[in-house]
Amino acid sequence: MIEFDNVRKCYNGRAVIDGLSLRLKKGQITVIIGSSGSGKSTTLKMTNRLEDHDGGYIRFAGQEIKSFKVEDLRRRMGYAIQSNGLFPHWTVAENIATVPRLLKWDKARIERRVDELLDMLGLAPAQYRQRLPHQLSGGQQQRVGVARAMAADPEILLMDEPFGALDPVTRAAMQQEVRRIHRLFGKTVLLITHDIDEALYLADHLILMNHGAIEQQGSPMEILRAPRNDFVRDFIGREDIGVKQLALQTVASRMRSGLVDPAAPAISGDLSLKQAMSHFLTLGVEHLNVLDADNAPAGSLLFTDLLTPVGTARNG
C-alpha cells in the first residue's frame, strides 16, 4: 500500500530522518509510536506530502508519491488530526462533506454519505447535521474529524495523534470506535501516537521510532515478548510488560472448555486477561467461570492459566 524506501528528510541541512524504510500493509492498522522529536509526525506528513522527502522513495499504490498531483494524492488519503482541525464556520454536515465536495460528487450522494457516516459514528443525523463544531463535545468533534477523513472512502486513513486532546474516558471510547470501524471496513490505517497503551491496543503492526530511525517493529506481542534493547524496554514500560501482554489476549483464548465450577464467580469471555487478573485479585479467588456470547457458562479460567506461555495469535 505505502512503501518507504531509504527515505531522508532534512531541516536546514540537518537530517532529521535518515534511511527510513517501512511498509504499510493493506487492511492493517500500523501505529508509529515515539516521543516528540522522534520523527513520527514527519513520517506521517511525508506520506501525504504535507512535508516532502529529500531522499529515497515513498510509493503509494506502486508509484512514487511525487508523481501524483499533490491535491489528488491527498484526496485519496483520509486525514484526521487532533481536535480543532474542524472548520469552525462550517456545520457538521459541511465539514464531513469537504472532500466529496472537492471531488464534485452530486448533492444527493453527498447527503447520503454524510448521514451514513453520522449514523456509523453514533451521531443522530437529524440532530447533528446542522450543528457547528463549537456546539459539540470534544469526543463528538473528534468523531466528526474521523468521519470527514473517511468521507470519500479513501484508500488509506492517516491519523496524527487523533485522540491526543481527549480525556481518558472519551479517548478509550474513540479507540474502541476505531477498532470497530476497522473491523467493519478493513481500511488501511496509519496512526501516530505517543501513548503506548493506545499503540498496543490498536496496532496490527507497531513501529517504534527514535531520533528519526526505527528502533523496532513488529506485532505488539512480538515487541512485548522480545524488546530489542533498553530503549524499547523503557518505552513499553519495564515493570508492566507482563501485564501489557495479558492486556492483548482475551479470556476466551485461554478458557478451559466445559469445566464449570458452580460455586465460582463468572466473567465474560470478551474481557482481556489483564481484566481477568484484576477480577482474580479483587475477588480473592483462583477459579472463574467464563461466559460465552449468550451469557451461559462455557468453561473456566484458573489463576495459573495466566502463566501459560503467551501465544502469538492475537484476539481482539
- Length, in residues, of the chain: 316
Binding mask 139-178 for other proteins (x = CB under 8 A): ------x--xx--------x--------------------
Q: Is 48 in the site for other proteins (CB under 8 A)?
A: yes
Q: Is 185 in the site for other proteins (CB under 8 A)?
A: no
Residue written as grid cell 457538521 = 92
Contact window for other proteins (CB under 8 A) among 4-12, 87-95, 115-123, 273-281: 87-95
Q: Is 113 in the site for other proteins (CB under 8 A)?
A: no
C-alpha cell at 101: 465536495
Q: How many angstroms separate the CA atoms of 173 and 139, rounded?
A: 9
Three-point CA angle 72, 77, 78, nearest 5°: 125
Q: Is 75 in the site for other proteins (CB under 8 A)?
A: yes
* The one among 71, 106, 230, 294 contacting other proteins by CB under 8 A: 71
* The one among 15, 61, 120, 132 contacting other proteins by CB under 8 A: 132
Of residues 73 and 288, the one with the C-beta less far from other proteins: 73
C-alpha cell at 126: 437529524
Q: Is 285 in the site for other proteins (CB under 8 A)?
A: no
CB within 8 A of 293, min separation 6: which ones?
269
46: number of Cβ within 10 Å: 22
Q: Is 89 in the site for other proteins (CB under 8 A)?
A: yes
217-276 binders of other proteins (CB under 8 A): none
* The one among 4, 60, 79, 201 contacting other proteins by CB under 8 A: 79
Residue written as grid cell 505517543 = 194
Three-point CA angle 71, 62, 215, nearest 5°: 95
